[in-house]
């Protein structure tokens, strides 16, 4: 069985360190593992499972995500580089313990240059199966655990910082907040927002989850295709990436965008469109670092206090980023990217 695993190095995009195709046809594994940068430490980033239409779509996603992890880990000061993995398949029907074990063997073959954890479509149980074959799988039950609550807590803290800059107060009572996507992170974040008194609007493709939010949190509901028709103060994207297109940015009524989804912008010009409409965009890789902070605590053997300190530090960096952007008239994404490049350049020089 183990002899069926093959790793093939693919041509990595410019400025990426490595792109690997991992296959084990005996268990249906076809995965891409991407290392964007190990300048600040071993690459770390979650593994997601998704039914990509083809390899090109999977490579497009894994490279964007891996680059985002480099920036996220740098801004969180975790001593880690950026990487990501994607498994091609439907997590609801194609995933098996054997497939995850084969993925674990692929990670082990990379000899510690990449640490993996949960992401979309992958649970702590799945990661435990992978960990049977590699010591470089984290986010395990009994260790740091599911990183989703930590991601939600980090986004919530950053959202309050953003609200203070945009509205003059971080009091969320009666703020109309639309949460798009009620996965582990989105639902946890919705719970925090409801507890803070926000007027919650939710949307998700899974109606059972939506109805749970209605019943427990008193949320209003909108259909996924009508998100950008809604009146809102804050938009919280927690589904997959690319939701902020030029069209969406032109329709958006929110004054603040702060969510957990990776790669929210369909393209860089979207940030300019939102800025021109006086919409403050909080770069996703900055605000959604709570999950990787939790994972990093397991990699480095740090306690909960370390995680909480890093979450507080992220909120402080967000405040600094927003002040720099306001004072210079530049985009928040430009300022955040500049902060990360300074960290990477300094380490390369050292």
The span from the CA of 298 to the CA of 74, in Å, is 17
Q: Are 246 and 252 in contact (CB under 8 A)?
A: no
The span from the CA of 60 to the CA of 57, in Å, is 5
The span from the CA of 208 to the CA of 235, in Å, is 22
Q: What is the DSSP letter of 333?
A: H
Q: Structure tokens of 52?
A: 């990509």
Q: Are 99 and 28 in contact (CB under 8 A)?
A: yes
Q: Structure tokens of 275?
A: 């800025």
φ and ψ of 253, to 5 deg: -95, -10
Query: Which single residue is written with the structure tokens 């009994």?
Result: 142
Q: Are 226 and 252 in contact (CB under 8 A)?
A: no
Question: Going edge to edge, which strands form the sheet with 234-237?
Answer: 220-221, 199-203, 176-180, 234-237, 256-257, 280-281
DSSP H or E run through 19: strand 18-24
The span from the CA of 335 to the CA of 328, in Å, is 9
Catalytic residues: 84
In Å, how far are 47, 230, 270 from 105, measured between CA atoms? 14, 46, 40
The span from the CA of 222 to the CA of 179, in Å, is 10
The span from the CA of 310 to the CA of 337, in Å, is 19
Beta bridge partners of 220: 201
Beta bridge partners of 7: 22
């Amino acid at each position: 069985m183990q002899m069926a695993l093959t790793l093939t190095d693919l041509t990595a995009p410019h400025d990426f360190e490595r792109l690997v195709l991992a296959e084990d046809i005996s268990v249906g594994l076809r995965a891409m593992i991407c290392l964007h940068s190990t300048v600040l430490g071993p690459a770390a980033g979650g593994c997601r499972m998704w039914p990509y239409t083809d390899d090109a779509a999977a490579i497009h996603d894994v490279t964007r995500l891996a680059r985002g992890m480099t920036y996220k880990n740098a801004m969180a000061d975790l001593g880690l580089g950026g990487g990501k993995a994607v498994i091609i398949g439907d997590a609801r029907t194609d995933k098996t313990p054997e497939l995850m074990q084969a993925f674990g063997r692929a990670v082990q073959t990379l000899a510690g240059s990449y640490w993996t954890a949960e992401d979309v479509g992958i649970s702590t149980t799945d990661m435990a199966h992978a960990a049977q074959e590699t010591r470089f799988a984290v986010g395990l039950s009994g260790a740091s655990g599911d990183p989703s609550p930590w991601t939600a807590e980090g986004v919530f803290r950053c959202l309050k910082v953003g609200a203070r800059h945009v509205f003059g107060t971080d009091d969320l009572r009666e703020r109309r907040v639309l949460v798009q996507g009620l996965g582990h992170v989105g639902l946890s974040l919705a719970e925090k927002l409801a507890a803070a008194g926000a007027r919650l609007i939710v949307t998700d493709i899974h109606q059972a989850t939506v109805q749970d939010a209605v019943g427990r949190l008193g949320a209003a509901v909108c259909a996924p295709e009508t998100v950008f028709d809604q009146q809102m103060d804050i938009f919280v994207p927690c589904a997959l990436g690319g939701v902020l297109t030029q069209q969406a940015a032109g329709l958006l009524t929110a004054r603040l965008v702060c969510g957990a989804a990776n790669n929210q912008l369909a393209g860089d010009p979207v940030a300019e469109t939102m800025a021109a409409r006086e919409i403050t965009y909080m770069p996703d890789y900055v605000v959604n670092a709570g999950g990787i902070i939790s994972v990093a605590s397991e990699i480095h053997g740090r306690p909960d206090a370390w995680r909480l300190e890093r979450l507080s530090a992220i909120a402080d960096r967000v405040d600094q980023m927003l002040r720099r952007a306001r004072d210079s008239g530049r985009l928040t994404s430009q300022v955040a990217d500049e902060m990360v490049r300074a960290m990477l350049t300094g380490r390369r020089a050292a």
